[in-house]
Amino acid sequence: MSFPTHRPRRLRRTGALRRLVAEVSLSVDDLVAPLFVREGISSPQPIDSLPGVSQHTVESLLAEAARLVELGVPGLILFGVPARKDPEGSEAWNPDGIVQVALRELRRAHGSDLVLMADLCVDEYTDHGHCGIVNHAGEVDNDATLALYANAAVAQARAGADIVAPSGMMDGQVGAIRSALDADGHAASVSILAYSAKYASSFYGPFRDAVDVTIANGGDRKGYQQDFHNVRESMTEIRLDIAEGADMIMVKPALSYLDVIARARHEFDVPLAAYHVSGEYAMLKAAAANGWIDGELAAVEILTSIKRAGADFILTYLAAEIAETLG
Ligand code: PBG
C-alpha cells in the first residue's frame, strides 16, 4: 500500500506541534463584554435567560468593569435600561440618562485603560419597543429616526464614549451620526462601530429580557433588520456604512452567519466585529447546565470559529469567563 508523501496527521501528533501550526488563536484582546446598566435599582438583578449576566447598578457596573480591566479585556459595550420610556426614547440622549451617567463614571474610573463603547439605538428607551419613531401607519419612519440617533450619539460622545455603535438598521444612520459627531467636535476622537449586517433574528430573545423590551402589538423588526436568507445584501449594507464613515463594521449574530463574516473579511479591510448574541450564549449555557456538552470547551471552540471566519474581535457575554480560562 502506498501513501502520499504529504501526511497531515504528522503535524497533529502532539499538543506543541498543534500549537505551532495553529492558523488562528483566541486571545483576551479579541473580547468585548456587553454590559447592562439599569436606572432605579439598588442591587444587581440577575437575568434568568442569561445565566451569569445581570442588570447592573452604576456601582456594580463599575465593579464589573474593574474586573474586566484586571482580566485584560480591552473593551465593553454598554446598554441602558431607563426608568422612564416614551414614544421617542428621549432618555437615550438625556445627559443625565443612565448610559450617560454610567459612561462618565467609567471614564473617570478607567481613563484610557478600557475602550468604552455605547450601543446606539432607542428600542430600550421607547414605550413601543421599536428602534425608531413609529408613524400613523405603525411603521418605523427611517428619516425621522435619524435625528434621534444623532442626538444620542452626541450625548454618548460628550459623556465619554470612545465608540458609538448604531444598531437600529436605519438607512443613512452612520452618515447622520458622523455629521452630528463632527459638528459637536468629536471628529478626531469618537469612532463608529456600525452594526452593518444585523439580521432580524430569533437569537435576540434573552437580550429583550435583559433590557425589558417587548415590541408593541406582537411586532417584529423584519422591516428594518436584514432577512436571514441573504448574504449579498450584507455586502451592500457594509459598503454603504463604510462610505458614510463607519470606522469598523459588525456582523450579528455570529454563529449562524459565519459565511457573512468570511465574506465581509474577504471584501473589506476595516476592522470587523462579530456579535455572539444572547440566544447563542443561552443555548450554550443551557446545554452545559444539563451536562450535554462541556461548556468551557464548546465556548472556546465557538469563539475560535468566529475568529477563523475572519472577525477581528467578538462581542460576547462569555468575555470575562473566557478571559479567565485563557489567562
Ligand atoms: C438593539 C439591539 C439588540 C441587540 C443588540 N442591540 C436587540 C434587537 O435588535 O432586537 C441584541 C443583542 C443580543 O441578543 O445579545 N438595541
Cα angle 79-97-226, degrees, rounded to a multiple of 5: 35
For the chain, domain boundaries: 25-326
CA-CA distance, 107 to 303, in Å (whole number)?
Answer: 28
Which DSSP helix (H) or strand (E) runs through 117?
strand 115-120
CATH code, 25-326: 3.20.20.70
What confidence score (pLDDT) does residue 1 get? 63
257 CB under 6 A from ligand 1? no
**Exposure string for 286-319, b = 16+ CB within 10 A, e = fewer:** eebeeeebebeeebbebbbbbbbbbbebbbbbbb
Q: Determine which residue's CA is closest to atom 10 belonging to ligand 1.
A: 204
Distance, CA of 226 to CA of 240 (rounded, Å) = 14
**Residue 310: CB partners within 8 Å, gap ≥ 6?**
261, 262, 264, 265, 266, 272
Which listed residue (85, 198, 285, 307) is catalytic?
Answer: 198
* pLDDT at 5 (0 to 100): 85
- The residue count of the chain comes to 327
Query: pLDDT tens digits for the chain (327 residues)?
Result: 676 788 899 999 999 999 999 999 999 999 999 999 999 999 999 999 999 999 999 999 999 999 999 999 999 999 999 999 999 999 999 999 999 999 999 999 999 999 999 999 999 999 999 999 999 988 999 999 999 999 999 999 999 999 999 999 999 999 999 999 999 999 999 999 999 999 999 999 999 989 888 998 888 999 999 999 999 999 999 999 999 999 999 999 999 999 999 999 999 999 999 999 999 999 999 999 999 999 999 999 999 999 999 999 999 999 999 999 998
On whether the CB atoms of residues 224 and 168 are closer than 8 A, the answer is: yes
Q: CA dist 309 to 95, 189, 233, 264, 319, Å?
A: 39, 30, 18, 10, 19
Question: Does residue 123's CB lie within 6 angstroms of at least one atom of ligand 1?
Answer: yes
Q: Quick one: pLDDT at residue 11?
A: 96
Residue 261 amino acid letter: I
Q: Give CA–CA dist 322/32, Å, rounded.
A: 11
Tell me what pLDDT residue 212 has: 86
CA–CA distance, 296 with 279 (Å, rounded to integer): 17
Q: The C-alpha cell of 290 is what?
A: 444539563
Q: Specify whether the backbone of 33 is left (phi greater than 0), alpha (psi in -120 to 50) or beta.
A: beta
| Strand 45-46 with 54-56, pairing | antiparallel
Among 85, 222, 252, 285, the one annotated catalytic: 252
Ligand 1 binding pocket includes 204 (Cβ within 6 Å): yes
How many CB atoms are located within 10 Å of the residue 5 CB? 5
Q: Within 10 Å of residue 95's Cβ, how many Cβ atoms?
A: 11
- Please give the number of the atom of ligand 1 that sits closest to the Cα of 279: 14
State the closest ligand 1 atom to the C-alpha of 281, by its place in the atom list counted from 1: 15
pLDDT value, residue 327 = 83
Find the 92 Cα to ligand 1 centroid distance in Å: 15
